[in-house]
Amino acid sequence: MILAQLTQFAHPAALAAFFQDQQPVGFSVVDMWHNMGWLPRCVVFLLLIMSVWSLAVMIDRALYFSAARKQSREFAPKVAGALKEGRLDEAIKVADRSKKSHLAEVVTAGLQEFRNYGSGGTVTEDQVEASQRALERSEAIVHAKLKRGLGGLATIGSTAPFIGLFGTVIGILDAFQSIATSKTSGIGQVAGGISEALVTTAFGLFVAIPAVMAFNYFTNRVEAFDVEMDNSSSELVDYFLKQGARR
């Protein structure tokens, strides 16, 4: 039976009649949008929101990290010179002027605790330990600030392909439903559903790939900043201990 049907379509006249019955389907973005049902449109709209959100996070983190890096490079030699000369108040003022520097925020907390804790000229062990705890608390706060928005990027990167796949399944179901309810068969009857499936799949990947790449990049930057803060905290504690030994 199958061979007989294929033989019928082998005749040029049968093929011409088959394609004449098909309605032309546009594959531009506007045409595919008009061919979509309400559920695939909701999928595309959700992916669009996720794309805008991830782009906003990327721009925000890029600007924040760039400012932190620039101000930290300017801050480090100035505060090191002030501490070397024993000008603790001047070092705190320098740190206060670098509002966006991750190093300045950590160092300021340690210096202020060191200055406010003790009395007199003797540096006690409790004073150094209190300053070290202040440094650790400040590091945790700055780390949270640096990671702000990165969790959203990770969520978008991991879920966008599956949301696009959901739109793909809906498009394929629409294609099969069109075949089942149509009196005529052919590629024209399923082209709309297939186009929906292709659009949502491609859009899901388009949203997910940049989000994953940006998440990995910014995570590496945060780890580098953490190392810098750890080193600065360690050097500052050593400075406090040396001050205690001198006195």
Q: Which stretch of 34-48, 50-64, 101-115, 138-152 has the lowest confidence by average pLDDT?
A: 34-48
Could you give the angle at the alpha carbon of 20 between the alpha carbons of 19 and 26, nearest 5°? 75
- Residue 3 confidence (pLDDT) above 50: no
71 HSE (CA, 13 A, CB side): 18
The residue that leads in pLDDT, 22 or 198, is: 198
Percent of the chain scored above 70 by pLDDT?
73
C-alpha distances out from residue 84 to 106, 121, 223, Å = 18, 17, 28
Q: What is the pLDDT of residues 152-203, one digit of tens each?
A: 999 999 999 999 888 888 777 777 776 777 655 555 556 656 666 778 888 8
- Residue 69 confidence (pLDDT) above 60: yes
- Segment 114-143 shows an average pLDDT of 81
